[in-house]
Structures are given as structure tokens and as C-alpha cells.
Amino acid sequence: PSIKPPSEDAPSVTVIDSGISSGHPLLNEAIGEAISVPDSIGAFDDEHGHGTAMGGLALYGDISACLTTKLFTQRLRIFSARVLNSK
């Protein structure tokens, strides 16, 4: 699908969850900063997929409509805080 990155002055949203998959092709252009809190839980990458899914919903809203129109417009910049460990 055609993916339009967010504008430089796009509003931002922070997803506090299981992290975010920074290499995800539908999300990577919109990711601002991603961290782990605390640092001791490791890298910010999402091991479970939930935080990545929530980031996608925040970014695109109705994913079914995006799939139907084949148009994915990123209107937000996503910041991520991974707060869950693997347990």
C-alpha cells in the first residue's frame, strides 16, 4: 500500500505498553522515540505484538478502511514506552 509519512508538525501520541516494533513497515516512518522503563527490562522492541498493534490503531484508526482503500496516511508521530517485561 501507499504510505504517506506524518508531517513535521504532526501531533504525537505516546503508547505505554509492550513496546513497538521499530522495523514494522506500516509504522517505522511515524516512530519518534522509543524507550524502555526501566532500562533494566531491555530493548524497547515489542516481544508480544500488543504495543505495536495499539500503535497501529492510534496511527491509522480504522485498519479495515485503510486496507479497503489501500491508503495508509500517517497523521501522528508515535512515541513508545515499553513498561512490560517478558513475564
Dump pLDDT digits (tens) for 15-31: 999 999 988 999 989 99
What is the reported pLDDT for 16?
A: 94
What is the reported pLDDT for 86?
A: 59
**pLDDT reading at 4 higher than 90:** no
**Residue 64 buriedness (CB in 10 A; 0-12 / 13-18 / 19+):** exposed
Dump pLDDT digits (tens) for 32-81: 999 999 888 888 888 888 999 999 999 999 999 998 998 898 989 999 99
CA dist 80 and 15 (Å) reads: 5
pTM, 2 dp: 0.84
CA dist 14 and 63 (Å) reads: 19
